[in-house]
């Protein structure tokens, strides 16, 4: 019986924990607030607001191992939340919300993320025939609202 208990303990210790939930996180450093989500494939979406910087233009970074744009390549992404399409033009992996149109697009995206009742959303890369799925778990807590998260950021 002891041998069985010892074996069971060693087996439990050696089995890696696989329960990972992919939640939105928020952080602040050097005058910039960031809300970040990663998925199981290692892709990430980072929405940032540099309200404490000289250049207060907000934006986002999208990274994916499935998509490898050339340096400075312009790519179009579609972020689909609750069947609503939010289209962005990225330079490589970066969108900078310059001008009123860019700021409005980012504001609308953050509002859609916060107000969504879905469990996830999709980022589509039409040029590459690829997509990534991200969780919305913790998004409302991390972003609060577009007005709150993007406060102090402008073009």
9 lies in some domain: no
- Greater confidence (124 vs 17) lies with 124
Residue 68 vs residue 95, higher pLDDT? 95
- Residue 7 pLDDT more than 50? no
Q: Report the SS3 class of residue 71.
A: coil
Q: How many domains does the chain have?
A: 1
pLDDT, residue 63, reads 94
Domain that holds residue 32: 22-149
For the whole prediction, is pTM greater than 0.75?
yes
Domain with 88 in it: what CATH number? Answer: 2.60.40
CA distances from 19 to 15, 40, 41, 132 (A): 12, 11, 15, 20
């Amino acid at each position: 019986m002891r041998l069985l208990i010892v074996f069971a303990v060693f087996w439990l210790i050696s089995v890696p924990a696989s329960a990972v939930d992919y939640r939105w996180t928020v952080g602040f450093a050097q005058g910039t607030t960031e809300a970040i989500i990663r998925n199981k494939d290692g892709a990430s979406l980072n929405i940032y607001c540099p309200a404490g910087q000289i250049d207060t233009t907000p934006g986002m970074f999208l990274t994916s191992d499935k998509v490898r744009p050339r340096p400075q390549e312009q790519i179009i992404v579609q972020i689909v939340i609750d069947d609503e399409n939010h289209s962005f033009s990225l330079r490589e992996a970066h969108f900078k919300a310059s001008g009123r149109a860019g700021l409005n697009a980012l504001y609308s995206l953050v509002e859609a993320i916060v107000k969504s009742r879905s469990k996830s959303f999709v980022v589509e890369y039409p040029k590459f025939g690829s997509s990534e799925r991200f969780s919305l778990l913790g998004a409302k807590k991390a972003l609060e609202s577009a007005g709150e998260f993007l406060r102090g950021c402008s073009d």
